[in-house]
Amino acid sequence: MAINALDKAEWQSFFDRVSKQIAGRPVQIEVAGLALGDQIEAEYLPMSGITYDPKDNVIEVASEVVDHLIHSPKQVFVDLGGDGLHSVEVIDTEDNRQIIVLQHPLALPAPE
């Protein structure tokens, strides 16, 4: 597996590609930070999608149960293996880490 940082210019197109493939797939959302500790916000819920809105600078991780918003993200890391996407880690301006873990790797189409 390879963990790669995504340039901010890539965020919107990357999350658009992921959203097209992720619908219904179970993911876990973990939030970790010095002030917060380590918390599981969602445990393998079926996803609706994940998007980045550059205008409001927000990443939204949506399911039927949880709508997790990450305001002011400053870094995005993706864990891509030969079998697909395993996880996405977003670090916000308060250095909190939001880790989206896919229960099963997601094969992504090639970028356009």
CATH number at residue 52: 2.30.29
- Per-residue pLDDT of 19-77, as tens digits, reads 888 888 999 999 998 877 788 888 888 999 999 999 999 999 998 888 999 999 999 99
97 token code pair = 């880490």
Question: What pLDDT does residue 21 have?
Answer: 86
Q: Has residue 111 been placed in a domain?
A: no
Q: Given phi > 0 = left and psi -120 to 50 = alpha, else beta, which region is 67?
A: beta
19 token code pair = 């959203």
Q: Has residue 45 been placed in a domain?
A: yes
Cα–Cα distance, 82 to 105 (Å, whole number): 9
Q: Which domain holds residue 22?
A: 2-105
Q: Has residue 25 been placed in a domain?
A: yes
Total number of domains constituting the chain:
1
Question: What pLDDT does residue 112 have?
Answer: 62
